[in-house]
């Protein structure tokens, strides 16, 4: 049973799922739109962007949604196909709006060499006022999204408040070992006091990190501000 004050998930049409305060539209991209408290959050759909052989990959997608009888959760299957790469995404949506995706890459044919693959989460500029990034040991950075266009935070730069090294926050007498490999960061949020979207991941399993490319970055441009996840940061061969 769904606990109060939440409500059971409800499917609306072919590609929408409603939860308390928000309606998710899955018609395009990984998520097409999220309407929260009556306002759209996304400037454009959450999309994969990739290159192979120096050329952009153009994806065609399909969607299947099934809401459980008790409304506690829903299954979202998203499949994207290009001339060289297939991306199969299985999502588990909970009654509170949290979605866990498992993403599998498959070549069209025996193998494919990917130059890059990113997942971009673009919010409307008016919705993106503040941001929060968290690393290991609960180290964090928070601030106001600047008005200047461009990348305003990237994981290569770090710059987090290292609370685990400060005595009043319970610092240890010996340094703690990092639980993070490379410049991967497990959590980033962007939004305002009433709405927002975040990404989170347990670890960087399946990512290909680069020495000169950030795994996670936050940006602002004319129409959007959001989170960029650099899933494939340097060339890698995907085989069956």
The per-residue pLDDT for 162 is 57
Residues 6+ apart with CB under 8 A from 225: 122, 123, 125, 128, 145, 190, 218, 219
Q: Under a CB-based contact definition with an 8 Å cutoff, are residues 133 and 214 in contact?
A: no
Beginning with the edge strand found earlier in the chain, give each strand of the sheet holding 10-12 in spatial order: 10-12, 16-19, 22-25, 33-36, 39-40
Q: Quick one: pLDDT at residue 172? A: 53
pTM above 0.85, yes or no: yes
Judged on CB neighbours under 10 Å (0-12, 13-18, 19+), 82 is middle
For residue 185, the Cα-to-chain-centroid distance in whole angstroms is: 12
- Chunked in runs of 10, what are the mean pLDDT values of the chain (240 residues)? 96 96 97 97 98 97 96 97 97 97 96 97 97 80 93 84 54 53 89 96 92 94 96 95
Among 151, 134, 118, 126, which Cα is nearest to 188's?
A: 134
Distance (Å) of CA 78 to CA 32, 37, 47, 89, 196: 12, 26, 11, 5, 23
Confidence at residue 157, expressed as pLDDT on a 0 to 100 scale: 82
Residue (of 33, 37, 87) closest to 60 by Cα position: 87
Please tell me the predicted confidence (pLDDT) of residue 240: 86
> Which conformational region is residue 21 in: left (phi greater than 0), alpha (psi within -120 to 50 degrees), or beta?
left
| pLDDT for position 167 | 57
pLDDT at 53: 96
Q: What is the DSSP letter of 70?
A: T
Buried b (16+ CB within 10 A) or exposed e, 17-53: bbbebebbbbeebbbbbbbbeeeebbbbbbbbebbbe
């Amino acid at each position: 049973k769904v606990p109060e004050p939440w409500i059971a998930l409800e499917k609306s049409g072919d590609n929408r799922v409603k939860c308390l305060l928000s309606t998710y539209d899955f018609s395009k991209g990984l998520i097409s739109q999220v309407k929260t408290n009556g306002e759209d959050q996304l400037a454009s759909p959450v999309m994969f962007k990739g290159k192979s052989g120096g050329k952009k990959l153009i994806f065609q997608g399909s969607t299947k949604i099934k809401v459980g009888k008790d409304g506690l959760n829903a299954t979202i299957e998203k499949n994207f196909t290009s001339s060289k790469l297939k991306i199969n995404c299985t999502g588990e949506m909970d009654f509170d709006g949290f979605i866990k995706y498992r993403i599998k890459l498959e070549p069209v044919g025996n193998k494919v060499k990917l130059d890059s693959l990113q997942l971009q989460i673009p919010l409307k500029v008016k919705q993106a006022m503040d941001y929060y990034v968290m690393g290991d040991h609960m180290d964090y950075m928070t601030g106001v999204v600047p008005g200047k266009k461009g990348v305003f935070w990237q994981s290569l730069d770090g710059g987090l408040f290292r609370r685990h090294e400060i005595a009043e926050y319970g610092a240890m007498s010996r340094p703690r070992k990092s639980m993070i490999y490379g410049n991967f960061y497990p959590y980033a949020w962007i939004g305002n006091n009433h709405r927002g979207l975040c990404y989170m991941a347990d670890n960087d399993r399946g990512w290909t990190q680069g020495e000169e490319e950030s795994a996670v970055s936050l940006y602002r441009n004319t129409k959007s501000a959001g989170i960029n996840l650099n899933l494939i940061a340097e060339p890698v061969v995907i085989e069956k």
